[in-house]
Amino acid sequence: MENRCESFIKAGSEEESILDKIDEKKLPKHVAVIMDGNGRWAKQRNLDRISGHKEGAKSARLIAECSAKIGIKHLTLFVFSSENWKRPKKEVNKLMELLYDNLVVRSGILKKNKIRLKTIGELDKLPARLRNKLSETEKTSQKFKNLQINLALSYGARMEIIQAIKRIIGDKIRAEEIDETLFRNYLYTAECPDPDLLIRTSGELRLSNFLLYQIAYSELYFSSTLWPDFRVKEYLSVLLDYQNRGRRFGAL
């Protein structure tokens, strides 16, 4: 593959060597990521948890830029789950502030890389200032076509499914009219294909209530790397692993 990541991959580097082996025709159209391990990364270094979230944000930026440049069209990042509201209020508030600050500081990256931003989840639970900034960023980036990033915020898959059922009932759709295509149109990710690849970092082997309906046939990749250390080299290695898998979808 032509090195379209030249802005942060050096010629002759290990990253470039891996990139050369990737067949762009075999790239996943949609990658979903459970970005896990920020807190443990900070604890290992005797830092506060928010420092881990800040370093994790750098990984998210690099993975997003790389995805846009090599031709992946959809990237869904699990940023904040519906269960994360149970964390200490101080940490939650700091994380909301960090999300807001990143939207302000990093808005140029969306324009530069032609990335569209979309948010999914129970957004009414987010602070008003953050909601307004997310809405503004969605509007200013809606025409960009290189990559769509879905930020899963205050997100839980079970609630997404329940909300979809409620909207179907509200639209008075008859039971015999409901099929997979119709149901998918009521999910947050209606305009995206289902994820071809789900990555979870930090060594945990669970799905944590993330895109449970959409990942029915996704390839799963569990990395032991903590999210702040998950950078372009490992991401490209995961994509290379993905393209070498045989996807049969139940067929022989």
- For 211-221, write each residue's pLDDT tens digit: 999 999 999 99
Residue 248: the pLDDT is 72
Residue in 3, 48, 84, 209 annotated catalytic: 84
194 catalytic, yes or no? Answer: no
Q: Compute CA distances 15 → 8, 11, 56, 206, 232, whole Å.
A: 10, 9, 20, 28, 7
pLDDT per position as a tens digit, 228-239? 999 999 999 999
Residue 7: the pLDDT is 59
**Every domain of the chain and the residues it spans:** 27-156+194-202+222-243
Q: Is the pLDDT of residue 179 over 90?
A: yes
84 catalytic, yes or no? Answer: yes
Residue 4: the pLDDT is 57
Q: Which residues, other chains included, contact 41 with Cβ-Cβ below 8 Å and sequence gap of 6+?
A: 52, 55, 56, 226, 227, 228, 229
Q: Is the pLDDT of residue 11 over 80?
A: no
Q: Is the pLDDT of residue 44 over 60?
A: yes
pLDDT per position as a tens digit, 118-131? 999 999 999 999 99
CATH assignment, 27-156+194-202+222-243:
3.40.1180.10
Q: How confident is the model at residue 250 (pLDDT cuts 50, 70, 90)?
A: low
Residue in 36, 38, 102, 113 annotated catalytic: 36
- Percentage of the chain with pLDDT > 90? 90
